[in-house]
Amino acid sequence: MKLKFPILQQSDSMDCGPTCLQMVSRYYGRNYSLKTLRERCNIARSGVSLLGISEAAESIGFRTMGVKVEFNKLVGNDSPLPLIAHWNQEHFIVVYAIKNDKVSVADPAHGKMVYSKEEFIRCWASTINGEEPEGICLLLEPTPDFFNQEDEKPDRSGFSFLFRYLRPHKKFIFQLVLGLLLGSLLQLAFPFLTQAVVDVGINTRNLNFIWLVLIAQLILFVSRMSVEFIRSWILLHVSTRINISLISDFLIKLMRLPIRFFDTKMTGDIIQRIEDHGRIENFLTGQTLNVLFSMVNILLFGAVLAWYNLQIFLVFVFGSLLYFVWVWMFMKRRRTIDHKRFAQMSSEQSNLIQMIMGMQEIKLNNCEKQKRWEWERIQTRLFRVNVQSLSLNQYQQLGGLFFNETKNIVITVLAATAVVHGNMTLGMMLSVQYILGQLNSPIDQMINFAHAAQDAKISLERLGEIHNSEDEEPDVDRLKELPEKAGLNIENVSFRYEGPTRQKCLILLLFVFHPIKLLLLLAPVEVAKPPLLKCCLGFTLQLKAK
């Protein structure tokens, strides 16, 4: 039986290689976290190499071979699928199916894609051997060791991690829920008052009764607005505290991470993760309470609508279900676009920070135009992502509007028919229209809640990478102070930069006289001194010494 290939999205702009390996591993039935694969790929701030991916794949039980082949060699049994291909000389993708000159690709940045033979070769081929273009691929085949290794269980903490931030505010949450219930009960009286105005006041021509009902409606309206006013202040208080707690905990965790973690991260990736907290705070405080209010309204007004006319109620339920199904069809595509936007926004943040902080070097090297053009290219890619997002929202809104308005028209026809046949009074028909308006708004709020929940889940996945990372090793065994009349002598210090092909650098001698007046550091010219000092201070593990 042919297995369905899993499609995963890269978390950061430099995670295409580890994400490709993660997809291939999951295809063969083994789950590995992105953190594990990053470490085994020797990822750096500039990304990973094909050699790094190959070494990581062999460490988890794959047999690999890097090849430069023609496209025809990928078809048939010459090259086992799935394989990892080098794309546009700067990216990695997974090719998992080739059929009828159509290439099915799992792109960590763009999701599932299908290319024609010509389109694939144009982006994949790097050289031309004779008349046939050739491209670079990494062939992977699982060995028995791959299936014998222990599987890593994916992190499924989900929203349980978030709701603990609501516990300190139980008193305010109770007040908000009480206000929502009170507001719903006040709204419930309006359809009955509307029916009474028409069926009793107008039919009997009793102006005093009409004025009495209108005054009652005015009092209920003022009461409901007062409840909403108080609820807004409480919500502002709770949301501000939760947002501060979320970002504060994130910064605390960020400061506990080892320095080598930041050597592989772009500044824009971290800044975008901080901005993700806004979406989580909106989901916790705004959308969650709104959907609670919506569900209460749906239950109350739905029961009243079913009591008025069961047929109209069933039409409303069926139309609403079609609306939900239509919106749900776009959720997967919406998730893919969100990952694209995160990658481009991260690149923009990193580019701006690099441009501002390195303005002196930019001017000294006379590359102002090049850096500005680089920023403009990022804006062009971001514009394309925004166009895709707008197009998706328009299709979603168009279908939702069609189902919603068709449902309203059918209900109006059914209500008017019931009035003509004497099964419903004119006041009941007006009440049904009012109830319909009150039910349509909660349906839209539940759709917004589904979008907010998806955004929060995506943000949680990105933040989980930070929160699940191991803290910096405790420095209990480090020597913090030199004893009196003692010196420090370190010999044969060796250091290796990040990367699978980096050679060890040898420092002949590093010693300190006591009292500390002289620090002598002897090293080859090509070796940077700051990384070596970080090694001696214990901030990196790429150090061996006597």
3-class DSSP string for 409-459? HHHHHHHHHHHHCCCCCHHHHHHHHHHHHHHHHHHHHHHHHHHHHHHHHHH
Where is average pLDDT lowest: 166-175, 366-375, 529-538?
529-538
Provide the pLDDT for residue 1.
45
Provide the pLDDT for residue 528.
52
Question: 279 and 137, same structural domain?
Answer: no
Asked if pLDDT for residue 436 goes beyond 50, the answer is yes
We report the CATH number of the domain holding residue 26 as: 3.90.70.10
The answer to whether position 393 is within a domain reads yes
Indicate the residue among 129, 148, 167 that finishes a domain: 148
Over pLDDT 90: what percentage of the chain? 0
Where is average pLDDT lowest: 350-354, 425-429, 504-508?
504-508
DSSP state for residue 502 in the 8-state scheme? P
Among the listed residues 368, 370, 379, 305, the one whose alpha carbon sits nearest the alpha carbon of residue 341:
379
DSSP structure string for 200-242: IIITTT-HHHHHHHHHHHHHHHHHHHHHHHHHHHHHHHHHHHH
Q: Which of 118-122, 125-129, 508-512, 517-521 is predicted most confidently?
A: 118-122
Question: 498 and 462, same structural domain?
Answer: no
The answer to whether position 367 is within a domain reads yes
Question: 393 and 271, same structural domain?
Answer: yes
Q: In sequence order, which residues have a C-beta less than 8 Å from that of residue 100 and are 6 or more positions away?
A: none
Asked if pLDDT for residue 513 goes beyond 50, the answer is no
We report the CATH number of the domain holding residue 339 as: 1.20.1560.10
Q: pLDDT per residue over 109-125, tens digit each? A: 888 888 888 888 888 88
Indicate the residue among 436, 468, 500 that finishes a domain: 468
> What one-letter code names the amino acid at 428?
M
The answer to whether position 66 is within a domain reads yes
Question: 504 and 395, same structural domain?
Answer: no
Indicate the residue among 97, 113, 148 that finishes a domain: 148
Q: How confident is the model at residue 485 (pLDDT cuts 50, 70, 90)?
A: low
The answer to whether position 524 is within a domain reads yes
Question: 463 and 497, same structural domain?
Answer: no
Provide the pLDDT for residue 536.
59
Among the listed residues 433, 427, 418, 421, the one whose alpha carbon sits nearest the alpha carbon of residue 202:
427
Question: 528 and 455, same structural domain?
Answer: no
* 3-state SS, residue 165: coil
The answer to whether position 298 is within a domain reads yes
Asked if pLDDT for residue 425 goes beyond 50, the answer is yes
Question: 365 and 267, same structural domain?
Answer: yes
Q: Which of 145-159, 174-188, 294-308, 506-520 is predicted most confidently?
A: 294-308
Question: 436 and 289, same structural domain?
Answer: yes
> What one-letter code names the amino acid at 245?
S
Question: 27 and 87, same structural domain?
Answer: yes
Q: pLDDT per residue over 45-102, tens digit each? A: 777 888 888 888 888 888 888 888 888 888 766 678 888 988 888 889 898 888 888 8
Which domain does 387 fall in, by range? 175-468
The answer to whether position 41 is within a domain reads yes
Asked if pLDDT for residue 508 goes beyond 50, the answer is no
Q: What is the pTM assigned to this prediction?
A: 0.68
Question: 182 and 80, same structural domain?
Answer: no
- Number of domains composing the chain: 3
Question: 220 and 143, same structural domain?
Answer: no
Asked if pLDDT for residue 402 goes beyond 70, the answer is yes
432, 309 Cβ separation under 8 angstroms: yes
Q: pLDDT per residue over 154-185, tens digit each? A: 555 566 667 777 777 777 777 777 777 777 67
The answer to whether position 397 is within a domain reads yes
Question: 70 and 189, same structural domain?
Answer: no
DSSP structure string for 464-492: HHHHTSPPPPP-TTS--SPPTT--EEEEE
> What one-letter code names the amino acid at 225?
M
Q: How confident is the model at residue 342 (pLDDT cuts 50, 70, 90)?
A: confident
Q: In sequence order, which residues have a C-beta less than 8 Å from that of residue 198 and are 6 or more positions away?
A: 425, 426, 427, 430
Provide the pLDDT for residue 533.
60
